[in-house]
Amino acid sequence: MKALLLFSGGIDSTYLLHKLLAEKIGKRKQPNPVQKVVCLSFNYGQPHADKELTAAKLITDKLGVEHLFEMLNFPFLKQDMTGNPVVPNRNMIFLSVAGAVAQQNTCEAIYIGCTQSDFEVFADCRPLFVRQMNEAMLLANGVHVVAPLVGKTKKQIVNDGGGIDWNQTWSCYAGEDEPCGDCAACKERAAANV
Ligand SMILES: [Zn+2]
């Protein structure tokens, strides 16, 4: 099976990419193990787009993974996330676009790196949301939505991802050259000892 991975170049999706490449994960409810991974990243006018997408591209280049980019030009998505990291419906929009991209690229599943650490703040990372999106996407595009990290915390991911160079990942929302150390993403990294 060919899989499409929503890839931000942050800790969670980078870990998931390595997992998919290393283990060729096949989950129940899915027809086949993953044989090929294609990454999909979004430029949605986020202030940290340059840093995030550059980091993402370096990672996939290094791993020799096909990498697609989509530009989303919705003013409401261009939010300063250092104050409030929740951009309403962001994952719903990402998944919706990914459904079309997956269908056009003959990918049978979309992988998304939602973790247990996201549940409290991000409604569109919770298991029930992922399950419902899976149902909707199967109806609309014949594509599964899979979130294999929902049972893991960011700390567990970092501990488990021993061989991954986290320095090549980018999380900060501020859009500066160096991580601000103060936004929600920077604080999560610090809490996970990255
Ligand atoms: Zn930051």
Taking only the tens place, the pLDDT of each residue in 72-106 is 999 988 888 888 888 889 999 999 999 999 999 99
pTM of the model: 0.92
Q: What CA–CA distances, in Å, run from 5 to 110, 127, 173?
A: 6, 17, 21
| Cα 187 to ligand 1 centroid, rounded to whole Å | 7
| pLDDT, mean of residues 136-142 | 96
Euclidean distance between CA atoms 138 and 160, whole angstroms: 31
Q: Which domains does the chain have, with CATH numbers?
A: 2-191 (3.40.50.620)
| Cα 63 to ligand 1 centroid, rounded to whole Å | 26
| Cα 42 to ligand 1 centroid, rounded to whole Å | 19
3 state SS of 97: helix
Q: What CA–CA distances, in Å, run from 30 to 26, 110, 122, 134?
A: 7, 11, 26, 11
What pLDDT sits at residue 175? 85
Residues 4-19 have pLDDT tens digits of 999 999 999 999 999 9
As a whole number of Å, the CA-based R_g of the chain is 15
**Amino acid residing at 37:** V
| pLDDT, mean of residues 48-54 | 94
Q: What angle do CA 52, 54, 57 make, to 5 degrees?
A: 110
Residues 111-136 have pLDDT tens digits of 999 998 777 778 888 999 999 999 99
* pLDDT above 90 (res 147): yes
Paired residues of 6 in beta bridges: 40
